[in-house]
Amino acid sequence: MVSIVIAPDSFKGTATAEEAALYLGEGVRSIIRDAEITLAPMADGGEGTAATFEGEKLTLQTTDAAGRLSEASYVFDAAEKTAYIDIAAASGLPAVADRRVPLTGDTYGTGVLIADAQSRGAQRIVLCLGGSATIDAGTGILTALGAITSNAAGYALRPGGGALGELASIDTAQLNIPAAAVEWVLLTDVTSPVVGPEGAATVFGPQKGASAEDIALLDAALLHVCDILEVDPTTPGYGAAGAVPVAIHWLSRLLHGDDSHVHVLPGAPLVANALQLDELIPRANLVITGEGAFDQQSLTGKVVGTIADLVADTAAVLAITAGRIDSDPGEGVIAIELGKSQDVATQLYDAGVQIATAYLRISTDQG
Protein backbone atom coordinates (compact mmCIF):
# COMPACT_ATOMS: atom_id res chain seq x y z
CA MET A 1 0.00 0.00 0.00
CA VAL A 2 1.23 3.46 -0.92
CA SER A 3 1.54 5.78 2.09
CA ILE A 4 0.96 9.46 1.28
CA VAL A 5 1.24 12.57 3.45
CA ILE A 6 -0.43 15.74 2.17
CA ALA A 7 0.85 18.83 3.99
CA PRO A 8 0.15 22.06 2.06
CA ASP A 9 0.11 25.67 3.17
CA SER A 10 -2.98 27.75 2.45
CA PHE A 11 -3.40 29.10 -1.07
CA LYS A 12 -4.02 32.68 0.04
CA GLY A 13 -7.34 34.10 -1.05
CA THR A 14 -8.52 30.86 -2.64
CA ALA A 15 -8.19 27.85 -0.32
CA THR A 16 -7.32 27.23 3.30
CA ALA A 17 -4.67 24.65 4.09
CA GLU A 18 -7.44 22.27 5.19
CA GLU A 19 -9.31 22.71 1.90
CA ALA A 20 -6.13 22.34 -0.15
CA ALA A 21 -5.21 19.09 1.61
CA LEU A 22 -8.73 17.71 1.14
CA TYR A 23 -8.98 18.55 -2.58
CA LEU A 24 -5.49 17.27 -3.34
CA GLY A 25 -6.29 14.08 -1.45
CA GLU A 26 -9.45 13.51 -3.46
CA GLY A 27 -7.50 13.86 -6.69
CA VAL A 28 -4.81 11.44 -5.52
CA ARG A 29 -7.44 8.94 -4.33
CA SER A 30 -9.05 8.89 -7.77
CA ILE A 31 -5.80 7.44 -9.19
CA ILE A 32 -4.32 5.48 -6.26
CA ARG A 33 -7.51 4.08 -4.75
CA ASP A 34 -5.97 1.97 -1.99
CA ALA A 35 -3.54 4.64 -0.80
CA GLU A 36 -3.14 5.35 2.90
CA ILE A 37 -3.51 9.13 2.93
CA THR A 38 -2.75 11.38 5.89
CA LEU A 39 -3.95 14.97 5.64
CA ALA A 40 -1.72 17.38 7.58
CA PRO A 41 -2.67 20.97 6.66
CA MET A 42 0.26 23.21 7.49
CA ALA A 43 0.96 26.83 8.38
CA ASP A 44 4.09 28.89 8.94
CA GLY A 45 3.04 31.62 11.35
CA GLY A 46 0.56 33.25 9.02
CA GLU A 47 -3.21 33.01 8.90
CA GLY A 48 -4.56 29.69 10.12
CA THR A 49 -1.53 28.79 12.23
CA ALA A 50 -3.40 28.88 15.54
CA ALA A 51 -5.95 26.38 14.26
CA THR A 52 -3.25 23.75 13.72
CA PHE A 53 -2.79 23.43 17.49
CA GLU A 54 -5.03 21.55 19.90
CA GLY A 55 -7.31 23.40 22.26
CA GLU A 56 -10.67 25.09 22.65
CA LYS A 57 -11.65 27.68 20.08
CA LEU A 58 -12.79 30.86 21.81
CA THR A 59 -14.51 33.78 20.08
CA LEU A 60 -15.05 37.23 21.51
CA GLN A 61 -15.75 40.80 20.53
CA THR A 62 -12.75 42.96 19.80
CA THR A 63 -11.72 45.52 17.18
CA ASP A 64 -10.17 45.22 13.74
CA ALA A 65 -7.10 47.14 12.59
CA ALA A 66 -9.25 50.16 11.77
CA GLY A 67 -10.72 50.24 15.27
CA ARG A 68 -14.13 48.95 14.23
CA LEU A 69 -16.02 46.49 16.42
CA SER A 70 -15.50 42.91 15.23
CA GLU A 71 -15.22 39.33 16.40
CA ALA A 72 -12.09 37.20 16.47
CA SER A 73 -11.14 33.73 17.66
CA TYR A 74 -8.11 32.06 19.19
CA VAL A 75 -7.22 28.60 20.48
CA PHE A 76 -6.70 27.95 24.19
CA ASP A 77 -5.08 24.79 25.50
CA ALA A 78 -6.03 24.88 29.18
CA ALA A 79 -3.92 21.85 30.07
CA GLU A 80 -0.79 23.51 28.69
CA LYS A 81 -1.87 26.99 29.85
CA THR A 82 -1.10 28.17 26.32
CA ALA A 83 -3.08 30.39 23.96
CA TYR A 84 -2.48 30.32 20.21
CA ILE A 85 -3.41 33.63 18.57
CA ASP A 86 -3.18 34.61 14.91
CA ILE A 87 -2.49 38.32 14.69
CA ALA A 88 -4.54 38.17 11.49
CA ALA A 89 -7.62 37.09 13.47
CA ALA A 90 -8.25 40.57 14.86
CA SER A 91 -5.69 42.74 13.09
CA GLY A 92 -5.57 41.15 9.65
CA LEU A 93 -5.84 42.53 6.14
CA PRO A 94 -9.14 40.95 4.98
CA ALA A 95 -11.19 42.84 7.59
CA VAL A 96 -9.92 46.19 6.29
CA ALA A 97 -9.79 45.34 2.60
CA ASP A 98 -12.43 48.03 2.05
CA ARG A 99 -10.26 50.65 3.75
CA ARG A 100 -6.61 49.85 4.29
CA VAL A 101 -4.99 51.65 7.18
CA PRO A 102 -1.19 51.63 6.82
CA LEU A 103 -0.69 54.79 8.91
CA THR A 104 -3.54 54.51 11.41
CA GLY A 105 -4.14 50.77 11.77
CA ASP A 106 -3.14 49.23 15.07
CA THR A 107 -2.97 45.91 16.90
CA TYR A 108 -5.27 46.86 19.79
CA GLY A 109 -7.72 44.09 18.85
CA THR A 110 -5.00 41.47 19.16
CA GLY A 111 -4.13 42.84 22.58
CA VAL A 112 -7.74 42.27 23.65
CA LEU A 113 -7.38 38.58 22.74
CA ILE A 114 -4.11 38.35 24.66
CA ALA A 115 -5.64 39.87 27.79
CA ASP A 116 -8.63 37.55 27.55
CA ALA A 117 -6.40 34.49 27.21
CA GLN A 118 -4.38 35.43 30.27
CA SER A 119 -7.57 35.97 32.28
CA ARG A 120 -8.50 32.35 31.49
CA GLY A 121 -5.19 31.05 32.81
CA ALA A 122 -2.81 31.31 29.87
CA GLN A 123 0.80 31.63 30.97
CA ARG A 124 2.20 31.35 27.45
CA ILE A 125 1.04 33.27 24.39
CA VAL A 126 1.97 31.84 21.00
CA LEU A 127 1.43 34.81 18.70
CA CYS A 128 1.40 33.91 15.02
CA LEU A 129 2.77 36.85 13.06
CA GLY A 130 1.44 36.83 9.55
CA GLY A 131 -1.21 38.66 7.54
CA SER A 132 -1.40 41.80 9.67
CA ALA A 133 -2.83 45.04 8.29
CA THR A 134 -0.71 47.13 10.64
CA ILE A 135 2.73 48.70 10.92
CA ASP A 136 2.51 49.90 14.51
CA ALA A 137 5.47 48.05 16.10
CA GLY A 138 2.96 46.31 18.39
CA THR A 139 2.05 49.52 20.23
CA GLY A 140 -1.65 48.74 19.86
CA ILE A 141 -1.07 45.62 21.92
CA LEU A 142 0.63 47.74 24.57
CA THR A 143 -2.37 50.07 24.68
CA ALA A 144 -4.78 47.14 25.06
CA LEU A 145 -2.68 45.94 28.01
CA GLY A 146 -2.96 49.31 29.73
CA ALA A 147 0.18 51.15 28.62
CA ILE A 148 -0.07 54.71 27.29
CA THR A 149 2.23 55.89 24.50
CA SER A 150 2.87 59.63 24.73
CA ASN A 151 4.60 62.42 22.83
CA ALA A 152 7.03 64.95 24.30
CA ALA A 153 4.16 67.14 25.50
CA GLY A 154 2.64 64.24 27.44
CA TYR A 155 -0.32 63.67 25.14
CA ALA A 156 -1.33 60.14 24.13
CA LEU A 157 -0.34 59.23 20.59
CA ARG A 158 -2.89 58.60 17.89
CA PRO A 159 -3.25 54.91 16.95
CA GLY A 160 -1.05 53.44 14.25
CA GLY A 161 2.46 53.64 12.91
CA GLY A 162 2.07 57.06 11.35
CA ALA A 163 2.28 58.74 14.76
CA LEU A 164 5.18 56.71 16.14
CA GLY A 165 7.76 59.28 15.08
CA GLU A 166 6.42 61.38 17.96
CA LEU A 167 6.87 58.70 20.63
CA ALA A 168 8.68 60.07 23.68
CA SER A 169 7.62 57.80 26.54
CA ILE A 170 5.35 54.94 27.61
CA ASP A 171 3.39 55.18 30.85
CA THR A 172 2.97 51.74 32.45
CA ALA A 173 1.20 52.81 35.66
CA GLN A 174 -2.00 51.03 34.58
CA LEU A 175 -0.29 48.09 32.88
CA ASN A 176 -2.00 44.70 33.02
CA ILE A 177 1.07 43.07 34.52
CA PRO A 178 -0.15 39.43 34.54
CA ALA A 179 -0.89 39.61 30.81
CA ALA A 180 2.30 41.48 30.00
CA ALA A 181 4.47 39.06 31.96
CA VAL A 182 3.50 35.88 30.10
CA GLU A 183 5.95 33.75 28.15
CA TRP A 184 5.90 35.00 24.57
CA VAL A 185 6.47 32.75 21.56
CA LEU A 186 6.38 34.77 18.35
CA LEU A 187 6.03 32.68 15.20
CA THR A 188 7.07 34.20 11.90
CA ASP A 189 7.51 33.14 8.29
CA VAL A 190 9.95 35.98 7.54
CA THR A 191 13.38 37.01 8.72
CA SER A 192 12.89 40.70 7.95
CA PRO A 193 14.51 43.32 10.18
CA VAL A 194 12.49 46.27 11.43
CA VAL A 195 13.77 48.91 9.01
CA GLY A 196 15.64 49.32 5.74
CA PRO A 197 15.21 47.83 2.28
CA GLU A 198 14.11 44.48 3.75
CA GLY A 199 12.16 46.01 6.64
CA ALA A 200 8.54 46.00 7.74
CA ALA A 201 7.47 49.17 5.93
CA THR A 202 9.45 48.78 2.71
CA VAL A 203 8.63 45.14 1.99
CA PHE A 204 5.14 44.76 3.42
CA GLY A 205 3.86 48.33 3.42
CA PRO A 206 2.60 48.28 -0.19
CA GLN A 207 0.32 45.29 0.41
CA LYS A 208 -1.09 47.14 3.43
CA GLY A 209 -1.89 50.18 1.30
CA ALA A 210 1.18 52.31 1.99
CA SER A 211 2.35 54.79 -0.63
CA ALA A 212 6.01 55.61 -1.21
CA GLU A 213 5.62 58.63 1.07
CA ASP A 214 3.92 56.50 3.72
CA ILE A 215 6.74 53.97 3.59
CA ALA A 216 9.39 56.62 4.14
CA LEU A 217 7.42 58.02 7.09
CA LEU A 218 6.84 54.59 8.63
CA ASP A 219 10.43 53.44 8.18
CA ALA A 220 11.70 56.53 9.99
CA ALA A 221 9.06 56.13 12.70
CA LEU A 222 10.00 52.49 13.30
CA LEU A 223 13.66 53.42 13.58
CA HIS A 224 12.71 56.09 16.12
CA VAL A 225 10.68 53.58 18.15
CA CYS A 226 13.58 51.14 18.22
CA ASP A 227 15.81 53.93 19.48
CA ILE A 228 13.37 54.92 22.24
CA LEU A 229 12.70 51.31 23.30
CA GLU A 230 16.34 50.25 22.92
CA VAL A 231 15.61 47.44 20.49
CA ASP A 232 18.08 46.54 17.74
CA PRO A 233 16.28 47.34 14.44
CA THR A 234 18.45 44.87 12.51
CA THR A 235 17.28 41.84 14.50
CA PRO A 236 16.07 39.16 12.03
CA GLY A 237 12.34 38.51 12.27
CA TYR A 238 11.57 41.67 14.23
CA GLY A 239 10.00 43.23 11.14
CA ALA A 240 7.22 40.62 11.13
CA ALA A 241 3.60 41.79 11.38
CA GLY A 242 4.51 45.45 11.16
CA ALA A 243 7.32 45.00 13.70
CA VAL A 244 5.16 43.62 16.54
CA PRO A 245 8.20 41.93 18.17
CA VAL A 246 9.60 45.37 19.00
CA ALA A 247 6.90 46.19 21.57
CA ILE A 248 6.76 42.65 22.95
CA HIS A 249 10.54 42.57 23.39
CA TRP A 250 10.51 45.90 25.24
CA LEU A 251 7.54 44.93 27.40
CA SER A 252 8.95 41.58 28.49
CA ARG A 253 12.39 42.99 29.17
CA LEU A 254 10.83 45.75 31.27
CA LEU A 255 9.12 43.21 33.51
CA HIS A 256 11.72 40.44 33.63
CA GLY A 257 14.94 42.40 33.26
CA ASP A 258 16.14 40.36 30.29
CA ASP A 259 15.00 38.74 27.04
CA SER A 260 14.46 35.24 28.48
CA HIS A 261 10.66 35.32 28.13
CA VAL A 262 10.52 36.23 24.43
CA HIS A 263 11.21 33.66 21.73
CA VAL A 264 11.02 34.55 18.02
CA LEU A 265 10.87 31.32 16.03
CA PRO A 266 10.15 30.22 12.48
CA GLY A 267 6.55 29.03 12.47
CA ALA A 268 6.59 26.16 9.98
CA PRO A 269 8.97 23.83 11.88
CA LEU A 270 6.97 24.29 15.08
CA VAL A 271 3.70 23.44 13.32
CA ALA A 272 5.33 20.44 11.63
CA ASN A 273 6.47 19.21 15.01
CA ALA A 274 2.99 19.65 16.47
CA LEU A 275 1.61 17.54 13.59
CA GLN A 276 4.30 14.88 14.21
CA LEU A 277 5.46 15.12 10.60
CA ASP A 278 8.97 14.13 11.68
CA GLU A 279 7.47 10.70 12.41
CA LEU A 280 4.95 10.50 9.54
CA ILE A 281 7.15 11.58 6.64
CA PRO A 282 9.93 8.96 7.03
CA ARG A 283 7.23 6.26 6.73
CA ALA A 284 5.67 7.79 3.61
CA ASN A 285 6.22 6.93 -0.05
CA LEU A 286 4.92 10.25 -1.36
CA VAL A 287 4.74 13.65 0.36
CA ILE A 288 2.71 16.45 -1.21
CA THR A 289 2.94 20.10 -0.26
CA GLY A 290 2.06 23.38 -1.93
CA GLU A 291 1.32 27.09 -1.71
CA GLY A 292 0.05 29.96 -3.79
CA ALA A 293 3.34 30.70 -5.53
CA PHE A 294 6.61 28.76 -5.40
CA ASP A 295 9.70 30.94 -5.70
CA GLN A 296 13.20 31.33 -4.28
CA GLN A 297 11.86 32.23 -0.82
CA SER A 298 9.71 29.10 -0.62
CA LEU A 299 12.61 26.91 0.50
CA THR A 300 13.77 29.29 3.24
CA GLY A 301 11.58 28.88 6.30
CA LYS A 302 8.22 28.60 4.55
CA VAL A 303 5.94 25.57 4.66
CA VAL A 304 7.25 24.10 1.41
CA GLY A 305 10.87 24.47 2.51
CA THR A 306 10.15 22.88 5.88
CA ILE A 307 8.45 19.89 4.26
CA ALA A 308 11.27 19.59 1.71
CA ASP A 309 13.81 19.48 4.54
CA LEU A 310 11.87 16.71 6.29
CA VAL A 311 11.69 14.68 3.07
CA ALA A 312 15.35 15.19 2.16
CA ASP A 313 16.77 12.36 4.26
CA THR A 314 14.02 9.84 3.50
CA ALA A 315 13.08 7.60 0.60
CA ALA A 316 9.85 9.51 -0.03
CA VAL A 317 9.13 11.33 -3.28
CA LEU A 318 8.37 15.03 -2.83
CA ALA A 319 5.63 16.72 -4.86
CA ILE A 320 4.96 20.46 -4.93
CA THR A 321 1.95 22.20 -6.41
CA ALA A 322 1.40 25.93 -6.69
CA GLY A 323 -0.50 28.51 -8.66
CA ARG A 324 2.87 29.55 -10.12
CA ILE A 325 6.18 27.75 -10.06
CA ASP A 326 8.83 30.40 -10.62
CA SER A 327 11.89 28.48 -9.41
CA ASP A 328 13.40 25.05 -9.97
CA PRO A 329 12.32 22.86 -7.02
CA GLY A 330 15.23 20.49 -7.53
CA GLU A 331 15.96 17.12 -9.07
CA GLY A 332 13.47 14.35 -8.49
CA VAL A 333 10.69 16.65 -7.27
CA ILE A 334 7.28 16.40 -8.91
CA ALA A 335 6.23 20.00 -9.66
CA ILE A 336 2.70 20.76 -10.82
CA GLU A 337 1.27 24.19 -11.59
CA LEU A 338 -2.44 24.60 -10.95
CA GLY A 339 -4.63 24.71 -14.03
CA LYS A 340 -6.60 27.68 -15.33
CA SER A 341 -10.01 26.66 -13.98
CA GLN A 342 -11.76 29.36 -11.97
CA ASP A 343 -12.76 26.74 -9.38
CA VAL A 344 -9.93 26.15 -6.90
CA ALA A 345 -11.39 22.81 -5.82
CA THR A 346 -11.11 21.60 -9.42
CA GLN A 347 -7.60 23.03 -9.76
CA LEU A 348 -6.36 21.21 -6.67
CA TYR A 349 -8.20 18.00 -7.51
CA ASP A 350 -6.60 17.99 -10.96
CA ALA A 351 -3.20 18.69 -9.40
CA GLY A 352 -3.70 15.67 -7.14
CA VAL A 353 -4.50 13.56 -10.19
CA GLN A 354 -1.36 14.74 -11.99
CA ILE A 355 0.84 14.17 -8.96
CA ALA A 356 -0.48 10.65 -8.41
CA THR A 357 -0.03 9.82 -12.09
CA ALA A 358 3.53 11.16 -12.09
CA TYR A 359 4.33 9.24 -8.90
CA LEU A 360 3.09 5.95 -10.38
CA ARG A 361 5.21 6.56 -13.49
CA ILE A 362 8.30 7.21 -11.34
CA SER A 363 7.60 4.10 -9.25
CA THR A 364 7.21 1.98 -12.38
CA ASP A 365 10.42 3.33 -13.90
CA GLN A 366 12.34 2.68 -10.68
CA GLY A 367 10.75 -0.68 -10.07
pLDDT band at 367 (very low <50, low <70, confident <90, very high): low
Q: What is the pTM of this model?
A: 0.87
Q: What percent of the chain has pLDDT over 70?
A: 99
Task: Determine contact, residues 168/139, Cβ cutoff 8 Å.
Answer: no
pLDDT band at 365 (very low <50, low <70, confident <90, very high): low
pLDDT at 73 over 70: yes
pLDDT for residue 363: 83
pLDDT at 46 over 90: no
pLDDT band at 366 (very low <50, low <70, confident <90, very high): low
Q: DSSP letter string over 239-280?
A: THHHHTHHHHHHHHHHHHSSSTTEEEEEHHHHHHHHTTHHHH
Alpha carbon distance 119, 76 (integer Å): 11
Q: Sheet harboring 82-86: ordered strands across?
A: 56-63, 69-77, 82-86, 124-129, 183-188, 262-266
Q: Domains in the chain, start-ordered, CATH in brackets? A: 3-42+275-366 (3.40.50.10350), 50-268 (3.90.1510.10)
Task: Determine contact, residues 32/41, Cβ cutoff 8 Å.
Answer: no
